[in-house]
Amino acid sequence: MKIAAIAINTFREAVRDKILYTLLFFAIAMIASSILLGKLVIGDQTKIIKDMGLASISLFGVLIAIFVGIGLVFKEIERKTIYTIIAKPIQRYQFLLGKYLGLILTLVVEVVIMSTGFILLLFYYEPSPDMDILKAILLIFFELMLITSIALLFSSFSTPIMSGVFTLSMYVIGHLTGDLKMLGSKSESAAVKHITEFMYYLLPNLENFNIKAKVVHNIPVSWGYILYAMSYGILYIAIILLISAIIFQRRDFK
Amino acid sequence: MNIIEIKNLSKEFRVGFIMKKIAALTDLNLSVEEGEIFGFIGPNGAGKTTTVKILTGLIYPTSGKAWIFGRDIRDVNIKRDIGFLPENPYFYDYLTAREFLNFYARLFSINKREIIARIDTLLDMVDLLKYKNVQLRRFSKGMLQRIGIAQALINDPKLVILDEPMSGLDPIGRTMIRDIILRMKDQGKTVFFSSHILSDVEMICDRVGMLFNGRLKDIGKLDTLLSTRVKSIEISASLMDDIYMESIKRLAANCILMDEKLFVVVNNETQKDEVLKIIEKGNGQLISLIPRRETLEDLFLKEINYR
Amino acid sequence: MLNNKKILIMFGIILPLLYSLQKQIDLSPERRGRIEDMKYLPSGRFLKGAALAYDEILGDLLWIKTVIYFGEHYLSNKQYEWLSHMLDVSTDLNPYFEYPYEAGGVMLAMETKEIDRSIALFKKGMKNVPQTDKRYWYLPFFLGFDYMYFKKDFAAAARYMEQAARLPGHPEYLPMLVTRLYANANDPEVAIAFLKEIYENTENEDMKRDIDKRIKEIIVERDIRLLEKARNIFRDRYGQYPDTLQELFKSGIINMIPYEPFGGKYYIDQKDGSIHSTMVEERLGVYID
Ligand SMILES: Nc1ncnc2c1ncn2[C@@H]1O[C@H](COP(=O)(O)OP(=O)(O)OP(=O)(O)O)[C@@H](O)[C@H]1O
Ligand SMILES: [Mg+2]
């Protein structure tokens, strides 16, 4: 499989890069530091550990998705490594998809390592912790996949710095669209109302994937909801990848 | 059927903030026949790389068309039978030589057993078998160029496109690559390679295309290209009476006496004929007549001056 | 491979699906009733250090959250457990930003009736916000309002009001209002003026509607008091209550019957001569409660 070959090569590149280990180290350190923080808070210690653990998985996942994602395609063009690949019997979209899946593979490994550390820590504090946190991690992972696709989209036509800025903004906005719509609906101007509503449905709504607070407070989250959120993620990713492929297909590599 | 067929190919780049147009290639028509080594030469910035990039699908032409194996270059399937070495190649330096070739082999869906055998053969051919498990970041420039060629041959292609395969190499490296190219021809492959180093082209090419400023200036067999342009003729003859020698001296561009012989250099055929007539009249003996043909170097310089 | 038609079809399928999924997600119970756990919102002073020079932005975001929090609870349960804490933290993060003090102080006073916290917030604002701020005068102005309206401390109210009247940007009527406040603190005009100012500066539409109602109620109270005064003059002059308010006008005691702000009418009760509005059942008693 050509796509798999590209994906594995991308994964290999990430694995042989130091930045991954640095980030992983900090993530584990942060999860571990929740023990300390937990001690400072009187009462609900596992809440702090869960908060910190989930936040670390999400934050460091986002950092990796953005840091690696923005260079994903750009580096291949910059270093001209793409030249030899495009000259092989492979469609450009296959190359793009391979790069994407390669980074996703990297993220899977990363998230699994972090989650294992986190859950072991939980077991140390509670004999039988609520395994609903796995649902939260699952949705965090879908958020990461969506962010990666956005990083890839920008990376397919602009420099890493610009892509980084764009992707980061999308990440922030993605978490605020709900609030924006709410603010907009309070506005008197119909135009503002419509614009915020339009943006709400157009921009990625990353809050869909955020069930951290629910899970930490043991509020049930149905599988139906998880399914909706995952489908939303997959469809959104499909759209983003489609746009990336269109842009990528048309550009010159010079 | 020609292996490569290029019709009215043009490429403009837009550069800078105001998107100024730069014509990198203008109305190129070219065909490369099966089994030949085609040299594509031109000075820096002539448009060689631009042509190669269009052929390999890295950039799209502004206008014009091209076919490889009789099929439109937009058809990715033709790439199954093409090998390509880009100019100043950069490779994934975190891979070892074997991993590197393995990666490219997988892009062709070649089966596993065959991959292993082919990788070894290729590494042997480019003399890198010893470095099989060394990461490419430890490779010298010459080694990189060679592993690049191995990469281009991983699919046993019918057509090999090499962009400046010898640039930056020492004489031993160049000879090695030249030998590899000749070996490809022996195997029945068609080779299209670009260069601005003329001696490389002169030695191995069947035909050359000369590109200046984005336009094709000349194309053809090397000897015909050069023989039509006899630069000077060197005539040597035995000594004669002074009158005859004086009249020859007046005609010739250069005339010297050496080792009891007369050496005359004339610039064209009419002068040659006249000199020969004089020698006959003076009962001199013609020892040799060597047309000094233009070298590629001369051709090149003339074109540049002409611009 | 990807031709334009295929691309269009894919967009055409995926985009509506995404839209309806989002609608579905918004309706699911998991999205409704967001948890507002601000227990772990650390103190502003701690955050200022931790926010790595992004404290203003953090403050802005928190301020936006606060406004939304207030808006949501205003419409639902009217419980504002975390409001004052959120206000405190966001003003800690953004000490020079006038608006959170002003709007927050009004929210605390008018809605949650946490008068002391409202007063403290206004005072914190007066200390932190630069006096050159165009809206600075609102802080002593509303502070004075808190003292007058809720604390009945008219002296303090008049003092802050006077301070507001000396600041640039204050409305023209303010000095007159101060004079009135000194003369008669129970003057409904004072309350109306304040409330109108609050009305103008409130952005929450629902709260605006409530304040508007309040203003109209005070106007009704003021008008009724006026009409009662006229009725008493009429009684003193003719020895009996007038049958209709029209008579007060005809006898020249008042030169017009006031316009009822809710769109109803004022009338005099034949039984006991008391005056009412057709729209407002209960009188406020005092303008300031
Ligand atoms: N990406 C680009 N943007 C703008 N102009 C370009 C670009 N690539 C090439 N050109 C221009 O097109 C012309 C042809 O360039 P090309 O690289 O094809 O030359 P070349 O024959 O390969 O030269 P060299 O021997 O130096 O490799 C040059 O004038 C160059 O400046
Ligand atoms: Mg070149």
Helix (H) or strand (E) holding C14: helix C4-27
Residue of B10, B11, B12, B13 with the most ligand 1 atoms within 8 Å of its CB, for mutation: B13
Across the range A134-146, mean pLDDT stands at: 95
Contacts of B207 (CB under 8 A, 6+ apart): B32, B33, B36, B37, B38, B39, B219, B220, B221, B222
Instruction: Give nearest CA residue, ligand 1 atom 26.
Output: B44
Return the pLDDT at A40.
61
Atom of ligand 1 nearest to the CA of B46: 21
Which domain covers residue A145, as residue numbers?
A: 2-175+210-250
- Least Cα distance to A60 among A18, A20, A23 occurs for A23
Tokens found for residue B20: 């100024």
Q: Which atom of ligand 1 is nearest to the CA of B51?
A: 18
Instruction: Write down the domain spans for chain C.
Output: 44-178, 207-277
Nearest residue to C118 via CA among C161, C155, C126: C126
Q: What is the mean pLDDT of residues C214-231?
A: 85
CA dihedral sign of residues C121, C126, C128, C130 = positive
Is C288 a residue whose pLDDT tops 50?
no
Q: CB of B196 closer than 6 A to ligand 1?
A: yes
Residue closest to A203 by CA, chosen among A170, A231, A234, A235: A170
Burial (CB count within 10 angstroms: exposed 0-12, middle 13-18, buried 19+), residue C236: exposed
| Domain presence at residue A190 | no
Is C65 in contact with A208 (Cβ distance < 8 A)? no
C205 near A CB under 8 A: yes
- Smallest Cβ–Cβ distance between A213 and the set C11, C14, C35 belongs to C35
The CB density around residue C237, as the number of other CB atoms within 10 Å, is: 10
With beta carbons less than 8 A apart as the criterion, state whether A49 and A139 touch: no
Of the ranges B96-100, B187-191, C106-110, which one carries the lowest mean pLDDT score? C106-110
Over residues A62-114, the pLDDT tens digits come to: 988 998 888 888 888 888 889 999 999 999 999 999 999 999 999 999 899 88
Average pLDDT of the residues of chain C: 81
pLDDT classification of A166: cutoffs 50, 70, 90: very high
Query: Which of B15, B28, B48, B161 to probe ligand 1 with, by most ligand atoms within 8 A of CB?
Result: B48
Range of lowest pLDDT (A31-35, A168-172, B128-132): A31-35
Residue B31 Rama label (left phi>0; alpha psi -120 to 50; beta): beta
Which of B110, B125, B193 is CA-nearest to residue B155?
B110
B239: exposed, middle or buried (C-beta count within 10 Å: 0-12, 13-18, 19+)?
middle
Q: Which of A101, A121, A146, A107 is nearest to A49 (CA)?
A: A121
Check pocket membership of B12 for ligand 1, CB cut-off 6 A: no
Flag whether A182 is in a domain: no
Beta strands in chain C (DSSP E): 266-268, 275-277
B245-293 pLDDT, tens digit per residue, is: 888 888 777 788 777 788 888 887 888 888 888 888 888 888 888 777 6
Ligand 1 contact via B48 beta carbon (within 6 Å): yes
User: Using CA positions, which residue lies closest to atom 22 of ligand 1?
Assistant: B49
Cα–Cα distance, B31 to B219 (Å, whole number) = 10
| Predicted pLDDT of residue B86 | 92
- Token readout for C128 is 């932190």
Q: Say which range, A239-253, C33-47, C91-105, C184-198, has the weakest mean pLDDT.
A: C33-47
CA distance C195 to C217: 11
Mean pLDDT, chain A, rounded, equals: 87
> Could you give the CA distance from residue B94 to residue B72 in angstroms, rounded to a whole number?
35
Sheet holding B207-212, edge to edge: B82-85, B159-163, B190-195, B37-41, B207-212, B215-221
The burial of B215, by beta-carbon neighbours within 10 Å (0-12 exposed, 13-18 middle, 19 or more buried), is given as middle
Q: Which pLDDT belongs to residue A26? A: 79
* Residue A203 is assigned to a structural domain of this protein: no
Q: Torsion over CA of B192, B195, B201 and B205, rounded to 10 degrees?
A: 10
B127: alpha, beta or left, given left = phi > 0 and alpha = psi -120 to 50?
A: left
C30 has pLDDT over 80: no
Contacts of residue C257, Cβ cutoff 8 Å, sequence gap at least 6: C227, C245, C246, C248, C249, C266
Mean pLDDT value across residues C48-72 = 74
Tell me the mean pLDDT in the region B40-56.
91
Q: Give the Cβ contact number of residue C82 at 10 Å.
A: 18
The verdict on a CB contact (< 8 Å) between A91 and B56 is: no
**One-letter identity of residue B226:** L
Question: In terms of DSSP bridges, do strands B215-221 and B63-68 run parallel, antiparallel, or are they unpaired?
Answer: unpaired
Give me the helices (H) in A126-189, please: 133-155, 160-186
State the total domains in chain A. Answer: 1
Over pLDDT 70: what percentage of chain B? 92
Q: Do C18 and A239 touch (CB under 8 A)?
A: yes
Asked, for residue A202, whether it belongs to a domain, the answer is no
- At CA C258, angle to CA C253 and CA C261, rounded to 5? 165
Please give the pLDDT value at position B53.
Answer: 95
DSSP B2: -
- Asked whether residue A127 is domain-assigned, the answer is yes
Q: What is the dihedral of CA B250, B254, B259, B261, to 10 degrees?
A: -50
What lies within 8 Å, CB to CB, of C202 at 6+ separation is C103, C106, C208, C211
pLDDT digits (tens, 9 = 90+) for C129-171: 888 888 899 999 999 889 888 888 888 888 898 888 888 888 7
Beta strand spans in B240-284 (E): 254-258, 261-266
Centre of ligand 2 to C-alpha A253, Å, is 14
Q: Determine the Cα angle at C24 with ends C22 and C26, to 5°.
A: 70
Average pLDDT over residues C186-199: 77
Mean pLDDT highest for which of A179-188, B122-131, C246-255?
B122-131
Q: Supply the ipTM of this predicted assembly.
A: 0.82
Q: Is the pLDDT of residue B207 over 60?
A: yes
Q: How far apart are CA B148 and CA B166, in angstroms?
A: 12
Residue A135 counted as domain residue: yes
Please state the three-class secondary structure of C111-161 as a single string: HHCCHHHHHHHHHHHHHHCCCCCCCCCHHHHHHHHHHHHHCCCHHHHHHHH
Q: For residues B216-220, give the mean pLDDT.
A: 85
- What is the rounded average pLDDT for all residues in chain B? 86
More confident residue, A44 or C59: C59
Question: Are B58 and A83 a contacting pair, CB within 8 Å?
Answer: yes
Residue A244, pLDDT score: 93
Token digits of residue B278: 């004089």
Evaluate if residue A42 carries a pLDDT over 70.
no
- Alpha-carbon dihedral angle through residues C113, C116, C117, C122, given to the nearest 10 degrees: 110
Query: pTM to 2 decimals?
Result: 0.70
Q: Which residues contact A121 (CB under 8 A, 6 or more apart)?
A: A31, A32, A34, A35, A49, A53
Question: Which residue has better confidence, B8 or C152?
Answer: B8
pLDDT at C178 over 50: yes
Residue A154 has pLDDT above 90, yes or no: yes
d(CA C132, CA B5): 77
Please state whether beta strands B190-195 and B37-41 pair in parallel, antiparallel, or not at all (unpaired): parallel
Determine, yes or no, domain membership for A84: yes
When mean pLDDT is compared across A141-150, A191-200, A208-217, C142-151, the lowest value belongs to A208-217
Task: Tell me if chain A has a CB within 8 Å of the CB of B108.
Answer: yes
Q: Is B28 in the pocket of ligand 1 (CB under 6 A)?
A: no
Q: Bin A5: left if φ > 0, else alpha if -120 < ψ < 50, else beta.
A: alpha
Closest ligand, as measured to the CA of B47: 1
Structure tokens at C219: 């106007």
- How close does chain A come to C289, measured CA to CA in Å? 30
- B206 phi/psi in degrees, rounded to 5: -80, -45
**Residues pairing with B66 in the sheet:** B6
What six digits make up the tokens of B160? 């090999």
Which helix (DSSP H) or strand (DSSP E) does residue A236 occupy? helix A223-250
Per-residue pLDDT band for A51 (boundaries 50, 70, 90) equals: confident
Q: What are phi and psi of B287, to 5 degrees?
A: -90, -50
C226-250 residue pLDDT tens: 888 888 888 888 888 888 888 888 8
Q: Most A CBs within 10 Å: which of C15, C22, C32, C69, as the mutation test of the A interface? A: C22
Q: A38: pLDDT confidence band, cut at 50, 70 and 90? A: low
Statement: residue B297 has pLDDT above 70: no
User: How far is Cα B55 from Cα B263, in angstroms, rounded to an integer?
Assistant: 50
Distances, alpha carbon A235 to alpha carbons A175, C1, C258, in Å: 18, 20, 64
How many Å apart are CA B241 and CA C263, to the nearest integer? 139
Q: Flag if B106 and A5 touch (Cβ within 8 Å).
A: yes
Shortest CA distance to A251 belongs to which of A153, A148, A166? A153
Q: Where are the beta strands (DSSP E) in B92-145?
A: none
According to CATH, the topology of domain C44-178 is 1.25.40
Tokens coding C46: 């701690």
Pick the most confident of A65-69, A195-199, B32-36, B287-291. Answer: B32-36
* Dist CA B278 CA B288 (whole Å): 15
The candidate with the shortest Cα–Cα distance to C85, out of C120, C35, C57, is: C120
Neighbours of B, requiring at least 3 CB pairs below 8 Å, are: A
Separation of alpha carbons C206 and C6, rounded Å: 49
Calculate Rg over the CA atoms of chain A: 20
Report the C-alpha gap between A45 and A37 in whole angstroms. 9
Q: Is the CB of B287 under 6 A from ligand 1?
A: no
| Whole-number pLDDT of residue C196 | 83
